[in-house]
């Protein structure tokens, strides 16, 4: 889905996320365990599942968000995923 992209600013982030959900209409995330939070960071592990918009195949992939917090607000969210090697599934998304 995304690769090497950099999005800066709240408006750009909103547009970016809206574009992802417009293309991947049934995109769903399942979080693993709970979000791990420290004073200046948070870590979230997840699995995403969706119907591929080009093939109609249901796929899933794993990922992790590394979130940096400053003054009580998210100042950086780095997303790492295995979307390039998504698994094909037989069941519904």
Contacts of 73 (CB under 8 A, 6+ apart): none
Q: pLDDT value at position 1?
A: 44
Domain positions in the chain are: 10-89
Residue 26 has pLDDT above 80, yes or no: yes
Residue 18: phi, psi to the nearest 5? -60, -40
Total residue length of the chain = 93
Q: DSSP 3-state assignment of 60?
A: strand
Residue 4: phi, psi to the nearest 5? 65, 20
**CATH topology (fold) of 10-89:** Nuclear Transport Factor 2; Chain: A, (3.10.450)
Q: DSSP 3-state assignment of 21?
A: helix
Per-residue pLDDT tens digits for 62-89: 999 999 999 989 999 999 999 999 999 9
């Amino acid at each position: 889905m995304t690769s090497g992209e950099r999005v800066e600013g709240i408006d750009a982030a909103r547009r970016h996320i809206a574009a992802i959900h417009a293309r991947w209409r049934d995109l769903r995330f399942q979080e693993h365990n709970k979000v791990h939070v420290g004073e200046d960071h948070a870590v979230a592990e997840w699995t995403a599942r969706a119907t591929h918009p080009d093939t109609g195949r249901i796929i899933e992939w794993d990922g992790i968000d590394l979130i940096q917090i400053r003054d009580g607000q998210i100042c950086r969210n780095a997303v790492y995923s295995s979307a390039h090697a998504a698994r094909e599934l037989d069941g519904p998304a």
